Amino acid sequence: MLREPGTSLQNDGERHLNAGAQPCFMLRQELQGSYINVNNLKRLGFHGVPSEPGLRAVVWKVLLGYLSRSPDEWDQLLARRRTEYHIFCDELIVDPKQPMYSRDGVPGGPLPSTQQQQAHSDQGSPLQPESHCEDVTGQDHPLCLDAASRWNTYFQDNETLEQITRDVVRTHPDMQFFTGESEASELHRQEMRRALFMYAKLNPGLRYIQGMNELIAPLYYLFKNDPDPHARAYAEADAFWCFMELISEFRDHFCQQLDNAPTGIRATIRRLMSLLQHCDRELWYHMEVKCKVDPQFYAFRWITLCLAQEFAFPDTLRIWDTILSDPHGRMDCLLRICTSMIILARERLLKGDFAVIMKTLQRYPPLDVSILLDHASSLPSCSELGMSW
Amino acid sequence: MANKPDDDYDYLFKVVLIGDSGVGKSNLLSRFTRNEFCLESKSTIGVEFATRSIQVDGKTIKAQIWDTAGQERYRAITSAYYRGAVGALLVYDITKDVTFQNVERWLKELRDHADSNIVISLVGNKSDLKHLRSVSTEDAQSFCEKEGLSFIETSALDSTNVEKAFQHILTDIYHIVSKKVLDTEDGSRPQINDGRDIIVVDDHKDEDKANKKGGCCS
């Protein structure tokens, strides 16, 4: 129904700035009403959000449920969420040298608080406690074994931060925005790092898992490039909340304890294989049975990262337009796109052995992303096939 | 398996790269298989795979090298990657003591998931960062003597010893395997313990010819 082959798929990513004036107009119109019809927005977004400055940022915020359906409420809503985020930052960044509950803006802790962030650029390593005379006779001190010790928290936080830092500096190594040496790039890393750290602190059961950097990157990039300077200034907070929304749907894939649960990564990969088996039995048989390629060797990354590492960045944005808009759900859509990736490489895969299959799917050959999305939209949804979630 | 390989390699060995995240596993892989190095390469999620063939004693040995994610979360899922591995390069970063301290945990990981006869080599990477060294060569060496591992320091950045590290482990594996072949009366594919293949000969016929004899792959 809504997934008829798209005719306006020419607007892939940022390469065709002027393409698709019509969908652009329709999207703008949809966003300007007093009440947004999200189904309409999805229908338009499914075929790609034109890369008009700022448009995709707003559409994604609505699709992710961060912005409400009533644009009149946005200013108030954004102000509240952004303040909330900054309060989290101030409360959760532990500086054991400061008295408890102090929020007087004194620099310190593993990350500078949001108010004084520009002054610091310590992405290489978290700040170490300064060496000065420390009164260790109190209840809390650096060698305290108590789990509630602020020093303990501080050390644990530093470990998390080191891991986040290692990944943030490796996010899109080909893009100046993320990995350049300018002050702006440094700030971008700093903000992404803090947003991921806040997620880790607020989700102690999961904390930070490698790959989360790839999921927050497109969000932060879009928001930081918003033509509205006010929105840009709060890109970090907005990216944090939108990341929370996005990952809520995919978080079980990151969780080791759920690997074998019905919502875990293994079950999702099995669903992908069922879909492939349904759509192209011969190819599925060749890959999984004959060549014994365990699908987790390639699909694990595809699925946990929502394809963020497989394509050029503008193509990833275009793919996410569709994933975020799919009326059958994001996971369903992701699996259909993954299935299409396999089927579109069919010729090479069928001719190949284990090694060829692995190399092809781990370094997916360049293709026109609109062809991929067109193909994916012609596949049945998992729910239509009776694959329960 | 009875047929003599009519293919471009005599032996196929699976080797895994393991170690903490950020120690340079992916760069060792890309340096060895593609002669490439990226100062900041993407973090590895799940597993990456590459192949390269080398010559040992006139035989063509095809190395199938698997690079895995370093973070704890990915260990359970990566345990499948150890299946059939005959070699492991256990990598740490000579500038980060904690990555050396964690070597024991990685050894345990191998004991739990890999074949007990797996050949293990400890690799101290980033040897170009001399001014930042925090793990001495002597400490690593004496640890290896104690654990019965071979040891080498490498730099994926300036290529030092990368070739050698892979050459050594593949040669060691080859010697063990060729001895086993001689020991096996019918010369059939040698197996160890629970029947996992330790080598795979001529199973992969369609491999692109570009990988033959030391060529690089991508």
Instruction: Please tell me the predicted confidence (pLDDT) of residue A23.
Output: 78
Smallest CA–CA distance, residue A40 to chain B, in Å, is 35
Q: How far is CA B190 from CA A1, A341, A352, B15, in A?
A: 57, 38, 26, 17
Nearest to A305 among B45, B203, B206 (CB): B45
CA torsion, points B16, B18, B24, B25, in degrees to nearest 10? 20
Of A224, A247, A270, the last residue of a domain is: A247
- Can you give the CATH number for the domain in which A208 is found? 1.10.8.270
Exposure string for A140-167, b = 16+ CB within 10 A, e = fewer: beeebeeeebbbbbbebbbebbbbbbbb
Task: Kindly state whether residue A177 falls inside one of the protein's structural domains.
Answer: yes
Does A28 share its domain with A77?
no
Residue A275: give its domain's CATH number.
1.10.472.80
Subunit contact B51:A355, Cβ cutoff 8 A: yes
In this prediction, residue B194 has a pLDDT band, given cuts at 50, 70 and 90, of: very low
CATH code: domain of residue B108:
3.40.50.300
pLDDT at A107: 37
Could you tell me the residue range of the domain that residue A372 belongs to?
A: 254-377
Answer whether residue A3 shows pLDDT above 50: no
Q: Give the SS3 label for residue A215.
A: helix
Q: Are residues A119 and A158 in the same domain?
A: yes
Question: Same domain, yes or no, for A228 and A95?
Answer: yes
Chain B CB contacts of A312 under 8 Å are none
Give the residue carrying structure tokens 């060829």: A356
pTM of the model: 0.83
Which residue in chain A has the smallest CA separation from B73?
A: A256
pLDDT tier for residue A264 given thresholds of 50, 70 and 90: very high
Please report whether residue A260 resides in a domain.
Answer: yes
Higher pLDDT, A11 or A240: A240
Q: Which residues of chain B have a Cβ shorter than 8 Å from any chain A Cβ?
A: 21-22, 38-43, 45-51, 64, 69-77, 80-81, 203-208, 217-218
| CA A378 from centre of chain | 26
In a domain, A57, yes or no: no
For the stretch A165-175, pLDDT in tens is: 999 999 999 99
Which of A207, A224, A247 is at the close of a domain?
A247
Contacts of B5 in chain A (CB under 8 A): none
Q: pLDDT band at residue A344, thresholds of 50, 70 and 90?
A: very high
Could you tell me which residues come within 8 angstroms of residue B215 by beta carbon, excluding any fewer than 6 positions away?
Answer: B52, B53
Residue position matching structure tokens 């060691």: B172
Burial of A267 (0-12, 13-18, 19+ CB in 10 A): middle
Q: What is the pLDDT of residue A157?
A: 87
- Per DSSP, A289 falls in state I
Angle subtended by helix axes A74-92 and A183-202, to nearest 10: 80
Interchain CB distance below 8 Å, A296 and B80: yes
Three-state secondary structure call for residue A369: helix
Residue-level pLDDT at B4: 36
A177 and A102 belong to one structural domain: yes
Tokens for B97? 């003591």
Whether residues A215 and A266 share a domain: the answer is no
Q: How confident is the model at residue A270 (pLDDT cuts 50, 70, 90)?
A: very high
Q: Name the CA dihedral angle for A104, A106, A110, A116, rounded to a multiple of 10 degrees.
A: 90
Instruction: Return the residue matching tokens 């394809």.
Output: A307
Rounded CA-CA distance B218/B215 in Å is 10
Residue B110's closest CA among B98, B101, B119, B99?
A: B119
Closest chain B residue by Cα to residue A166: B22
Nearest-by-CA chain A residue for B66? A297
Assign B8 a pLDDT band (cuts: 50, 70, 90).
confident
**Structure confidence at residue A145 (pLDDT):** 67
Residue B120, SS3 per DSSP? strand
For residue B76, give how far its alpha carbon lies from the nearest alpha carbon of chain A (Å): 7
Cα–Cα distance for residue pair A171/B127, rounded to 1 Å? 24
- The helix or strand, by DSSP H or E, that contains position B91, with its residue range, turns out to be strand B87-93
List, for residues A85-141, the tens digit of each pLDDT value: 999 999 888 766 665 443 443 333 445 555 444 444 444 444 444 445 555 555 667
- ipTM metric: 0.80
Determine the residue among B33, B37, B42, B47 to mutate to test chain A binding: the one whose Cβ has the most chain A Cβ atoms within 10 Å: B42
Q: What is the pLDDT of residue A68?
A: 96
Measured distance between the N- and C-terminal CA atoms of chain B, rounded to whole angstroms:
28
pLDDT (tens digit per residue) in A294-334: 999 999 999 999 999 999 999 999 999 999 999 999 999 99
B59 within 8 A of B12, measured Cβ to Cβ: no
Higher pLDDT among residues A172 and A385, named by residue: A172
A152 and A264: one domain? no
Q: Is residue A48 within 8 Å of residue A8, measured between CB atoms? A: yes
Q: Does residue A127 belong to the interface with chain B, where contact is any CB pair within 8 Å?
A: no
Is the pLDDT assigned to residue A5 strictly greater than 60? no
Whether B204 and A355 lie within 8 Å, measured CB to CB: yes
pLDDT number for residue A138: 59
Mean pLDDT of chain A: 85
Instruction: Give the span between the Cα atoms of B41 and A33, in whole angstroms.
Output: 44
- pLDDT surpasses 70 at B200: no
Q: Give the list of residues 6+ apart from residue A82 with CB closer than 8 angstroms, or none.
A: A234, A237, A238
User: Looking at per-residue confidence, does B209 or B116 come out higher?
Assistant: B116
What's the pLDDT tens digit per position in A17-70? 444 568 788 898 889 888 999 999 999 999 999 988 899 999 999 999 999 999
Does a structural domain hold residue A60?
A: no
CB contact (8 A) between residue A296 and residue B46 = yes
Residue listed under structure tokens 């034109």: A50
**Burial label, A278 (beta-carbon count in 10 A; 0-12, 13-18, 19+):** middle
The count of structural domains within chain A is 3
pLDDT level of residue B139 (50, 70, 90 thresholds)? very high
Residue A343 is classified by DSSP as H
Examine the domain organization and report whether A163 and A290 are in the same domain.
Answer: no
User: Is residue B46 a part of any domain in this protein?
Assistant: yes
Q: Is residue B22 part of a domain?
A: yes
Size of interface A-B (CB pairs under 8 A): 90
Confidence of residue A386 (pLDDT cuts 50, 70, 90): confident
